[in-house]
Structure formats: structure tokens, C-alpha cells
């Protein structure tokens, strides 16, 4: 009986981490503790902790006199919406959440357990980085964590939630994972902090501007989603998990819906503006087509000229890549190519069918884009579409010009089905530019060159700027009324559900990184 009392006391002491004073300091910063975060995110009473008593074995700098069970990270497993997940949460109240040899070993163990079980793994990161007192042992620990991240890539979903500082080597495990979440104001990510930057380059910048949630979700494109506080961020993690499967051998959960698969959407028949240069909001179309108008967006604040999100059609998850005419007229550029390519590859890894919605006038022109490597970055997007073997459907709602015709998944690059609305315009380039080239001599010799140019522009538009020429050649499988879009997509994805496609035997391809 005494031993049971001792066990209970030990576990109560371990649950306090670095002590009540440090817990209070964590709360004063607007942050939850590691255990509070796990309990909030997982289903009630589902968390089972492992390696509770693990501590470091360092004897440097007096560390042998400062041992705290758990070693600054809480690890274990539980459920979210009754699905098994593995989780670890760094405890900032213990050594500032710094990673040492034993701390890393706990993470590696839960990573390996997640791989064996085929369960998603969620990392709640709140760490000052490597534990300096342990030197190479800490550095080696990071390497083992990174290696497991790489082994797990494409096998189980890996989600990293930055909930405090994340500096130096600590940023690379999140960077290798599939999705990164950050919390406004309280989370930071950077390789070198403001002080180091100032001492080396003379640049003066705050930690927030250098590596805060707003910076990484809008400027760098490192982060996929952010929340206003710990709870909102963890709620979003739960929401994301509802759209994705446990591992690469499963498909996402089918959710019951009261939204009819036969539902027509009359508003879509007049959705596209009559003026070709007029913009509209692609989010409205996505909402009208999806079950109950719901979607979960990845990277909503970065490269806004393309939308990457998950929706459900008749209860089944679909990954959407869609042009956004409201931003840069929907042109493709460096950032949106990277954003979409990564999203496509995630969906392909985890058996999530893909929908491309195209209204794209081309690639964004300019010296900055060319010098920045738009050729290389744009090729990533083509590679991702061509590599993906999941069901792929494209709907062309308005413009689909030039190379961007392939960038939104053409029949030739690998779309299983390509549909078009009657408003679709498919062409090698815009009518004005094409007429200037094709009819150059006629225009120059005319009595009224401008009048002749306008005539030839109209002639070119009448000939090519409709979906029917492409439909004649099988590049478009059908042209239908916009109001039928939802039900046509549901029928098509149902048909493609048994699709089987494999690539030639190889170690792996060489994506143009």
C-alpha cells in the first residue's frame, strides 16, 4: 500500500513539471502548459503517457543535481474523434523545453510507435532549442528525430504546432512535417534570432517580425495555419485531422451529410462575370459546391492567387487547388507554384482525390519572377500533377491559357476527367496577343490597322475562345451547365474511386527543387 502511495505522489510531482511558479509564468504569457494542451486537444480522458519517469543522464555543469522526471517533454498516445494519434508536447517549464539526449529519445520512441501503428503524430513544440549543457548528445538527438521525420514522410501524417519559441535546429523537424501551425504573438520560428542577426549583419528586427506567426503565414510561407491563441490553434488541428486519413494505406473517414448529392446550384449559371477582365471570389464557388459550404484551407494567407483546401463531396474528402481571380488575376507565380505543388503531393501520399478549378490567364510576367526561378518553381507544379496517381478532375470555369493550362492539371498532364463550363476560354495565349502575331501582316497592311486588329481579335476569339474546339479533340470530356457542377463532380469521383495507376519502377523521381 505504501508503494502505491509513493507512486501516486511521484506522478503528482511529475505532473507539475518545473513547478507551480513556472506554470504560473507560462499562464501569464497566455500559454497553456504541455499537459493542458494535450488534454484540451485529445478526446476526454483518452491520453496515455509513456516514458513518464525518463530523465537525463548528463553530468556536465552541475546537471547531475538538477534532474526532473520527464526531461522536458510529455509523450504518449490518445484519440481525436475516437481515432488513435501519437503526441508529444515539449514542456517549457522544464529546462525551457530544451532538447537533450533523453528528451530526444522520448520523441524518437513515440515517432517509431506511431509508424508501427499507422497513426498520425502531432508535435506540440515549445522549446528553447538544443540543451547546451549536453553538447553533441543534444545535436545527435535532433538528427535522430529528423531521420524519423523523413522515414515517416508519406506514411503517416505529421503535424507540428509551434506554441512557443522554436529556434536553430528545432525548426527542422517541423519543417519536414506535413503541416505547421503557429499561435499569434506567442510562437516564434527562426534559424538565428534577432540578437545574432544584429551582431552579424547589423540588421535590427524584433523576434515577432523576424519569426512570428504573421510573418511565416504571409511572407515566408513556412506555416500552413495559425490561430489567435492555444485553444483556437488546437481546435484547428482537430479540424484538419477530420479531413485526412490515419496513414497511406487508408482513405479519409466518410462523414454523414444532409447535403444532397443531387443538389443543383442555379446561382452558378450567372456566376462568371460577362466582362472577361472582371474578377470574382473563387471561395464563393468552393462553398457552393462543397457539403454544407464547409472547407479547411491550407496556407490561406500566403500566395493568395491560388487556393489550396480540403472540402467534402457527399461526405468524402477532396483536395482542391483553385485559381483566385481576385488576386493577380489568378496568374501563377513562384510562391503559388510551391504552395500548390506541396499540397498536391500531400494529397497523393494519403489517397485524397484532387479537384482543380481553373481560371488562369497564364504565368505572372516580370524580371523578378524570371530571376527568382519561375521556370524551376513552375516545373514543381507540373511535376506534382504528373506524379500524382489519385483521382484528378479539372473544371475550367473561365480562362485557361498557355502553360498555365497544364499548371491547373490538363488532360495531357494527367487529369482523369476535364470538364468545362460554357464560359470557358481555352487558348495558347490571350486573344489580343495571338491576333497581333497570327495576323501581323494583315493588320500592318490595312488602311485602318486598329480596326483590322479588332476584327482579327474577334475572329480569333470566335474560333478558339470556347471549350468546344478542345472538346472536339477529347481534351475536354464534357461541357455542362454550371448549376450541375456539384452532382457531376460527385458522380465522377464515385466512378474514379477504384482507380489504379502505378509509375514505372524506380527509387524515386527527381522533382526540380
For residues 125 and 21, what is the distance between their CA atoms, to the nearest angstrom? Answer: 21
The catalytically annotated residue of 340, 404, 415, 471 is 404
The catalytically annotated residue of 140, 221, 403, 433 is 403
For residues 420 and 479, what is the distance between their CA atoms, to the nearest angstrom? Answer: 5
The catalytically annotated residue of 140, 168, 315, 433 is 168
Are 122 and 41 in contact by the 8 Å Cβ rule? The answer is yes
For residues 38 and 40, what is the distance between their CA atoms, to the nearest angstrom? Answer: 5
The catalytically annotated residue of 97, 100, 169, 362 is 169
Cell of 388: 500524382
- Residue partners of 166: CB distance under 8 A and separation at least 6: 125, 126, 127, 129, 174, 187, 188, 189
For residues 304 and 489, what is the distance between their CA atoms, to the nearest angstrom? Answer: 24
Active site residue 30: no
Are 503 and 387 in contact by the 8 Å Cβ rule? The answer is yes
Are 142 and 127 in contact by the 8 Å Cβ rule? The answer is no
Instruction: List Cα–Cα distances, 426 to 122, 358, 460, 476, 477, in angstroms.
Output: 43, 10, 12, 10, 14
Segments in 279-394 forming alpha helices (H): 282-289, 334-349, 367-371, 374-387
Strands 121-125 and 392-401, sheet pairing = unpaired
Render 38-61 in DSSP notation, one character per residue: HHHHSPTT--EEESTT------ST
Cell of 203: 540588421
Are 393 and 493 in contact by the 8 Å Cβ rule? The answer is yes
Active site residue 403: yes
Q: Which helix (H) or strand (E) holds 79?
A: strand 73-80
Give the active site residues: 168-169, 403-404
Amino acid at each position: 500500500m505504501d508503494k502505491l502511495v509513493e507512486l501516486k505522489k511521484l506522478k503528482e510531482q511529475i505532473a507539475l513539471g518545473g513547478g507551480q511558479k513556472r506554470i504560473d509564468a507560462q499562464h501569464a504569457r497566455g500559454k497553456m502548459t504541455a499537459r493542458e494542451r494535450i488534454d484540451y486537444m485529445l478526446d476526454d480522458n483518452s491520453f496515455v503517457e509513456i516514458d513518464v519517469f525518463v530523465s537525463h543522464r548528463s553530468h556536465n555543469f552541475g546537471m547531475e543535481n538538477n534532474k526532473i522526471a520527464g526531461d522536458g517533454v510529455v509523450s504518449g498516445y490518445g484519440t481525436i474523434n475516437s481515432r488513435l494519434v501519437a503526441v508529444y508536447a515539449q514542456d517549457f517549464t522544464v529546462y525551457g523545453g530544451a532538447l537533450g539526449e533523453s528528451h530526444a529519445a522520448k520523441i524518437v520512441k513515440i515517432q517509431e510507435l506511431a509508424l508501427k501503428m499507422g497513426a498520425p503524430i502531432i508535435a506540440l513544440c515549445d522549446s528553447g532549442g538544443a540543451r547546451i549543457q549536453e553538447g553533441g548528445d543534444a545535436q545527435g538527438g535532433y538528427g535522430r528525430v529528423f531521420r524519423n521525420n523523413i522515414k515517416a514522410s508519406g506514411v503517416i501524417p505529421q503535424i507540428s504546432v509551434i506554441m512557443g519559441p522554436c529556434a536553430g535546429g528545432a525548426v527542422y523537424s517541423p519543417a519536414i512535417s506535413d503541416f505547421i501551425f503557429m499561435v499569434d504573438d506567442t510562437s516564434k520560428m527562426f534559424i538565428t534570432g534577432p540578437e545574432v542577426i544584429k551582431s552579424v549583419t547589423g540588421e535590427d528586427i524584433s523576434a515577432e517580425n523576424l519569426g512570428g506567426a504573421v510573418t511565416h503565414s504571409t511572407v515566408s510561407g513556412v506555416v500552413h495555419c495559425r490561430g489567435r491563441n492555444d485553444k483556437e490553434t488546437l481546435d484547428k488541428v482537430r479540424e484538419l485531422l477530420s479531413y485526412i486519413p490515419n496513414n497511406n494505406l487508408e482513405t479519409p473517414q466518410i462523414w454523414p451529410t444532409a447535403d444532397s448529392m443531387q443538389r443543383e446550384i442555379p446561382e452558378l449559371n450567372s456566376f462568371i462575370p460577362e466582362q472577361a477582365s472582371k474578377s470574382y471570389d473563387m471561395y464563393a464557388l468552393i462553398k457552393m459546391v462543397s457539403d454544407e459550404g464547409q472547407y479547411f484551407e491550407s496556407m490561406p494567407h500566403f500566395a493568395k492567387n491560388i487556393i489550396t483546401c480540403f472540402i467534402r463531396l457527399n461526405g468524402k474528402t477532396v483536395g482542391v487547388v483553385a485559381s483566385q481571380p481576385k488576386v493577380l488575376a489568378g496568374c501563377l507565380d513562384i510562391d503559388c507554384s510551391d504552395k500548390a505543388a506541396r499540397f498536391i503531393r500531400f494529397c497523393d501520399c494519403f489517397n485524397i482525390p484532387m479537384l482543380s478549378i481553373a481560371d488562369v490567364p497564364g504565368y505572372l510576367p516580370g524580371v523578378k519572377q524570371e530571376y527568382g526561378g519561375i521556370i524551376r518553381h513552375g516545373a514543381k507544379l507540373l511535376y506534382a500533377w504528373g506524379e500524382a496517381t489519385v483521382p484528378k478532375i479539372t473544371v475550367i470555369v473561365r480562362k485557361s491559357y498557355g502553360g498555365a493550362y497544364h499548371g491547373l492539371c490538363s488532360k495531357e498532364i494527367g487529369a482523369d476527367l476535364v470538364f468545362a463550363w460554357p464560359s470557358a476560354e481555352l487558348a495558347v495565349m490571350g486573344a489580343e496577343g495571338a491576333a497581333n502575331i497570327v495576323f501581323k501582316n494583315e493588320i500592318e497592311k490595312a488602311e485602318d490597322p486598329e480596326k483590322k486588329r479588332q476584327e482579327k481579335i474577334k475572329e480569333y476569339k470566335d474560333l478558339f475562345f470556347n471549350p468546344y474546339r478542345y472538346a472536339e479533340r477529347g481534351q475536354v470530356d464534357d461541357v455542362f451547365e454550371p448549376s450541375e457542377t456539384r452532382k457531376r463532380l460527385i458522380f465522377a469521383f464515385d466512378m474514379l474511386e477504384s482507380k489504379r495507376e502505378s509509375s514505372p519502377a524506380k527509387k524515386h523521381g527527381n522533382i526540380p527543387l
